[in-house]
Amino acid sequence: MKKLLTVLMLLVAVSARAEDVHLAAASDLNFALKEIIQDFERSTGNKVVLSLGSSGNFFAQIQNGAPFDVFLSADLNYPRELEKSGHAVAGSTFVYGIGRIALWVPARSPLNLDKLGMLALADRSVRKVAIANPEHAPYGRAAVAAMQHANVYDQVKNKIVLGENISQAAQFVQSAAADIGVIALSLVLSEPMRKAGRYWVIPEDTYPRLEQGAALLKRGGPAARQFLDWLKRPESKQTFKKYGFN
């Protein structure tokens, strides 16, 4: 009986300490982050309420008072700006990974990505090219820069379809709304996309470095701080690496 009471008291104590962490995260983190969150919740008892979307949209929402505790951006500049404006805790911003982009086509595509590289975008068979909207998605800006570097942007700009974020751009290609996509390597390396298609990694020196940054927002409490510390653990870094982050 004593043992049972002790266990119950411990469970109540953990429950009392458990908190929700409201997390706004760039959609390229979909697969990597869900693995990290699972470990965090199991180990700490805290729950993460995850919202995925474009970094630029989250940046605007946070400035307008959106109730998030932590921001994981695909562009380091957004959390830095939030620190400057007082929406994020001073000194809390850090780089959690360097993102990369890749071409991806479904398995049914006739395109030989290894042979063509960026020229695949200008192939006659390609009617639609999916990218994230460069106005508010860092991966969209990287896609445009890589196309310009390869001198294919002018040939393909009228074929481009814009996803609200990088996950939606990937969905366009998966659903045949586009023939090829310039998308995040972190999505391409997920099991569903590896099984459903082929990819070619775009050289990193052809687009601006995708430094991705995390920040503790003003309303973030102890659990939010704990989650940011969790991202710095070797195990979390290994998960990011598994999904193509440097």
Do the Cβ atoms of 99 and 181 come closer than 8 Å?
no
Looking at residue 136, its pLDDT comes to 86
Judge whether residue 2 has pLDDT over 80.
no
Structural contact between residues 179 and 105, judged by C-beta atoms closer than 8 angstroms = yes
- Whether 100-206 and 2-98+210-242 are alike in CATH topology: the answer is yes
Residue ranges of the domains in the chain?
2-98+210-242, 100-206
138 against 9, higher pLDDT:
138
pLDDT at 24 over 60: yes
Answer whether residue 217 shows pLDDT above 80.
yes
CATH no. for 2-98+210-242: 3.40.190.10
The answer regarding whether domain 100-206 maps to CATH 3.40.1210.10 reads: no
Across-strand partners of 114?
A: none
- Determine the average pLDDT of the residues in 225-230: 97
4-40: b or e for each residue (b if 16 or more CB lie within 10 Å)?
eeeeeeeeeeeeeeebebbbbbbbbbbbbbeebbeeb
